[in-house]
Amino acid sequence: MPQLSPGETAPDFTLPTADGFTVSLAELRATADKGVVVYFYPAASTPGCTTQACDFRDSLAALQGHGYAVVGVSPDGTDKLARFAEAESLTFPLASDTDHEVIEAWGAWGEKKNYGRTYTGLIRSTVVVDPAGTVTLAKYNVKATGHVARLRKDLGVD
């Protein structure tokens, strides 16, 4: 799958969320002065994804204070996402993309290598979209640990 690059228009989406509602990129863009941080993670409640989600949780006030909304997207179902959000006190939307349609359109699904094994799966990624819908930052194959701190620096939050 081709990955998004700065300057491209981000594909719009509407997905079910952990809280039983839906979230759309268009709605998030309308509420964020500077843009939307869309991050893709492989599986709720796993060590790396928990670290990353908690880093976003702990940085949420600073990100929002600088005009950014945050949404996490995974291939997990909404029930699993709801348990994850409750267990980790996550207050930003967690969206479910079980058919990978959005994940693939955003270039976050593809070949991965882990411990010498090659397989197809979700590529941990973060894409920032401005209020007009244009990609301003796109990072693929990010590490769970330390990624949010680097993102904050890239966005001028720190």
The residues assigned a catalytic role are 49
What's the distance, Cα to Cα, between the start and end of the chain in Å?
A: 33
The answer to whether 41 touches 74, Cβ cutoff 8 Å, is yes
Quote the CA–CA distance of 62 and 115 in Å, as a whole number. Answer: 36
Token pair recorded at residue 154: 């890239």
Token pair recorded at residue 11: 């594909």
DSSP character at residue 58:
H
Decide: residue 10, CB within 10 A, 0-12 exposed, 13-18 middle, 19+ buried. Answer: buried
The answer to whether 63 touches 37, Cβ cutoff 8 Å, is yes
